[in-house]
Chains A and B, each alone.
Chain A
Amino acid sequence: GAGVSQSPSNKVTEKGKDVELRCDPISGHTALYWYRQSLGQGLEFLIYFQGNSAPDKSGLPSDRFSAERTGGSVSTLTIQRTQQEDSAVYLCASTPLARLATDTQYFGPGTRLTVL
């Protein structure tokens, strides 16, 4: 596709349920990132993929969060046993390579997660 796409655009769930958020990066982009945008915290890095491997998961806030990427393309961020503090906009970004500090990251529109 022309840009990074994410689904769903909005997700409302009950506390304790599991959710899956999907990201489709720009075709050919090998690097993929997940960020979280929440009130008071700004934009926080969660995890980075280079191809299908995740060399850095240091931003994941707890072991309830996990992510995978298959075929070097689509990525899924899973949050288990959601809590109200997980409510945020989850953003995905991709870039052709992650080797250069000059690379521009291209962001998707985000998934707004609301945990009731």
Chain B
Amino acid sequence: GDSVTQMEGPVTLSEEAFLTINCTYTATGYPSLFWYVQYPGEGLQLLLKATKADDKGSNKGFEATYRKETTSFHLEKGSVQVSDSAVYFCALHDNSGGSNYKLTFGKGTLLTVNP
């Protein structure tokens, strides 16, 4: 079955530090890949996505590149801010027949950015 493995947290960084959250996946088909973010007290929202190999998703200074050869979709940001403190979820949406309807999530990584 499909699965997503992401780096366990919590991750604590100082403001302006570089962020990487690793994510790898297994899928039977050719999935689309997503990063969702959950800010404190808020609902889950899409941060970025990539739908085919070598695509780079980007938003709010975050980037992730779909690497089919390494089945990875690592999230990066060059300079984090306190407002980036949240839980980050890597997810996939597999389009192999019969399963093109649900998201499979990683367990989430809590990021805390200190001033």
A105 touches which one: B42, B103, B108 (CB < 8 A)?
Answer: B103
In the complex, which residue of chain B has the Cβ closest to the Cβ of A49? B101
A101 contacts B108, C-beta separation under 8 Å? no
**From residue A49, how far is it (CB to closest CB) to chain B in Å?**
10
B101 contacts A56, C-beta separation under 8 Å? yes
A101 to B101, CA, bound (A): 7
A101 with B51, Cβ < 8 A, contacts A33-B102, A56-B102 known: yes
Chain B residue numbers with a CB within 8 Å of A101 are 29-32, 51, 93-95, 100
A61-112 interface (Cβ within 8 A of B): 91, 93, 98-110
A91 to B93, CA, bound (A): 17
**From residue A42, how far is it (CB to closest CB) to chain B in Å?**
4
**Would you call B43 an interface residue if the criterion is a C-beta within 8 Å of the partner chain's C-beta atoms?**
yes
Q: How many residues of A contact B (CB 8 A)?
A: 26
A37-57 interface (Cβ within 8 A of B): 42-43, 45, 48, 50, 55-56
Chain A residue numbers with a CB within 8 Å of B32 are 101-102
Report the contact-size class of chain B (Cβ under 8 Å from the partner). Answer: 20 to 34
**Would you call B46 an interface residue if the criterion is a C-beta within 8 Å of the partner chain's C-beta atoms?**
yes
**Would you call A26 an interface residue if the criterion is a C-beta within 8 Å of the partner chain's C-beta atoms?**
no
A50 to B100, CA, bound (A): 12
B44 touches which one: A56, A91, A99, A100 (CB < 8 A)?
Answer: A91
A102 contacts B49, C-beta separation under 8 Å? yes
A100 with B95, Cβ < 8 A, contacts A42-B105, A42-B107, A91-B43 known: yes
**Would you call A23 an interface residue if the criterion is a C-beta within 8 Å of the partner chain's C-beta atoms?**
no
Chain B residue numbers with a CB within 8 Å of A105 are 46, 93, 103
A42 with B108, Cβ < 8 A, contacts A101-B32, A102-B51, A105-B103 known: yes
Binary CB contact string for chain B from 6 to 30 against chain A (1 if under 8 A, 0 otherwise):
0000000000000000000000011
Interface residues of B (CB under 8 A from A): 29-32, 34, 36, 42-46, 49, 51, 89, 91, 93-95, 100-108
